[in-house]
Amino acid sequence: MGIKGLMPFINDAAPLAVKETKLEAMTGRTLAIDASMHLYQFLVAVRQAGEAGAANLSNEAGEVTSHIQGFLNRTIRMLELGIKPVYVFDGKPPELKSQTLAGRAEKKAEADVELAAAIEGGASSEDIVKAAHKTARMTPQMNEDVQELLRLLGCPVVLAPSEAEASCAALCKAGKAFAAVTEDMDVLTFGTPVMLKNLFDVESARTGGAKRPAYEVSLPRLLQQLDITMEAFVDFCIMCGCDYCGNIRGVGPPTAFKLLQAHGGSLEAAVAALDAAKRPAPESWRVDDARAIFRAPEVVDAAALPLQWRAADTAGLKAFLVGRHSFNESRVQKAIDRLSKLRAAGTQSRLDSFFAAKEPKAVPESAKFDPFKKKTPASKAAGKRPAGASSGGKGKQQRK
């Protein structure tokens, strides 16, 4: 879920923090990608027609391969554009997230029943596909499959000790990556300087819908426009509703922001001012623990983490895709040809750095982004909305 309702609020209250972008604009960039989020997207989006109308792609052994197909195509596309992907996988979730995960498991069980009823009742293929989307589940084997594929493609794989988006943010704060690529808005709460949202809109493309624009969100500009500190932003996100505290019924971002402003930024005072009968705090309202997770999450040691991109192991790829997962050999050969052409041509910007066995240049401590650094009067003034700019405008004249 991330932070409930945060993106629409940012578009309205801090439009200068958001600008439209596209995948092609990331040439030469290193991107920290929330792999688990994208794995789920492929399980939902990459499907084939079947008796149920919404079956995942699978190999001869009946094992799902939608995620493998999706990561293969996406990764090669990025490499061809001169993008350096770093895939970050989830570790053990925080204990504070257990209630959220239990709720998601319950919804999955309900979705299973809905799907069975839709199939048995002769529902339309479209309705069955929609029902099937809700039943998608990731397994440990799927994670292992994708990690093996990515290593064969020569891309670095990072195993986060806890939440993937927190480690993505750590890589960006340390200067190891330009942006965190995820749909979870709490990557901003974890302090990434830049977030990329909707960068790969697979589902819309697959279903024939209009492709959503990709957005680049700047945390420094967001804090400047809202005129708040990072500590206040964390409290604001908690009050909006997050995975670690649940949410207060009827309190979305606009209400949360106004309440915090009215009570001097105190989350406790803002919540105490609510009518407990109408807007009770969740039973799991452990604010201090949620703050601790956002402010000092369990993450990889980004500064000491070596990131290297190597030439693809084409023989290993063929054995993995064709031999083990029953991929069409001619299609796999086309993918291998694209990789071989990529390495041989070396024409895309900064492609030589993909295959150089050397450490990236160290980022000086003074240049690293510290979201909890106190705001100065000059930094506050730099981010204020220009006179006459509408708080709700989304036009191009309001974005850089």
pLDDT in tens, 209-223: 567 899 999 999 999
Query: Into how many domains does the chain fold?
Result: 1
Q: Are strands 157-159 and 47-48 parallel, antiparallel or unpaired?
A: unpaired
Of 67-71, 250-254, 376-380, 388-392, which range is least confident? 388-392
Q: What is the mean pLDDT of residues 275-287?
A: 82
Among candidates 150, 87, 73, 175, which has minimal Cα distance to 310? 150
pLDDT at 156: 97
Number of Cβ atoms within 10 Å of the Cβ of 367: 8
For residue 328, being part of any structural domain is answered with: yes
Average pLDDT of 225-230?
95
Please give the pLDDT value at position 134.
Answer: 57
Confirm whether 104 is domain-assigned.
Answer: yes
User: 109 pLDDT exceeds 80?
Assistant: no
Q: What is the pLDDT of residue 379?
A: 47
Q: Is residue 375 part of a domain?
A: no
129 domain-assigned: yes
Asked if the model's pLDDT at residue 400 lies above 80, the reply is: no
CATH code of the domain containing 72: 3.40.50.1010
CB 233 within 8 A of CB 3: no
Cα R_g (the chain), whole angstroms = 22
Task: State the residue range of the domain holding 152.
Answer: 6-297+314-358
Q: Show Cβ contacts of residue 137 under 8 Å, excluding neighbours closer than 6 positions.
A: 43, 108
Q: Give the strand order in the sheet containing 179-181.
A: 18-21, 214-218, 194-197, 179-181, 30-34, 84-89, 157-159
In a domain, 368, yes or no: no
pTM across the whole model: 0.78
Mean pLDDT of 116-134: 56
Q: Is 173 helix (H, G, I), strand (E, B) or coil?
A: helix
- Rounded average pLDDT over 233-238: 95
Q: Is the pLDDT assigned to residue 308 strictly greater than 50?
A: yes
Distances from the Cα of 289 to the Cαs of 95, 103, 131, 150, 296, in angstroms?
10, 20, 36, 35, 10
Segment 340-356 shows an average pLDDT of 57
Report the 10 Å Cβ neighbour count for 37: 19
Q: Which stretch of DSSP H or E encloses residue 181?
A: strand 179-181
Strand partners, 157: 87
Tell me what pLDDT residue 394 has. 38
Confidence of residue 284 (pLDDT cuts 50, 70, 90): confident
The three-class DSSP label of residue 156 is coil
Q: How far apart are the first and last CA of the chain?
A: 28
Averaged pLDDT of the chain: 79
The 10s digit of each residue's pLDDT in 172-197 is 999 999 999 999 999 999 999 999 99
Residue 32 lies in a domain: yes
Phi and psi at 32, nearest 5°, equal -90, 115
Instruction: Note the pLDDT of residue 43.
Output: 77
Q: What is the mean pLDDT of residues 14-40?
A: 94
Examine residue 352 and state whether it is found in any structural domain, yes or no.
Answer: yes
pLDDT of residue 205: 46
Nearest CA to 146 out of 135, 158, 136, 134 is that of 158
* Domain membership flag for residue 286: yes
Using alpha carbons, select from 135, 133, 131 the residue that is nearest to residue 117: 131
Q: What angle do CA 148, 154, 156 make, to 5 degrees?
A: 75
Q: Which residue has better confidence, 114 or 367?
A: 114
Identify the pLDDT of residue 280.
83
3-state secondary structure of 325: coil
* Region at 245 (left for phi over 0; alpha for psi -120 to 50; beta for the rest): alpha
Minimum mean pLDDT range among 116-120, 241-245, 267-271 = 116-120
Please report, for residues 33, 117, 178, the alpha-carbon distance to residue 171 in angstroms, rounded to integers and kept in the order given.
10, 45, 9
Q: Give CB contacts under 8 A, 24+ apart, made by 177-180.
A: 177/29, 177/30, 177/31, 177/32, 177/86, 178/26, 178/29, 178/30, 178/31, 179/26, 179/29, 179/31, 179/32, 179/216, 180/31, 180/32, 180/33, 180/34
Helical ranges in the chain per DSSP H:
6-13, 35-45, 66-80, 98-120, 125-133, 140-152, 164-173, 186-189, 202-207, 219-226, 230-240, 253-262, 267-272, 287-295, 314-318, 329-345, 377-382
What is the bridge-based pairing of β-strands 194-197 and 214-218? antiparallel
Cα distance between residue 170 and residue 172, in whole Å: 5
**3-class DSSP state for residue 196?**
strand
Per-residue pLDDT at 378 exceeds 90: no
Please, what is the Cα angle at 199 between 33 and 125, to 5 degrees? 105
Q: What is the pLDDT of residues 41-94, one digit of tens each?
A: 787 765 443 444 444 555 555 567 888 999 999 999 999 999 999 999 999 988
Predicted confidence band at 282 (pLDDT cuts at 50, 70, 90)? confident
Amino acid at 15: P
**DSSP run (H or E) holding 85:** strand 84-89
Residue 269 pLDDT grade (very low, low, confident, very high; cuts 50, 70, 90): very high
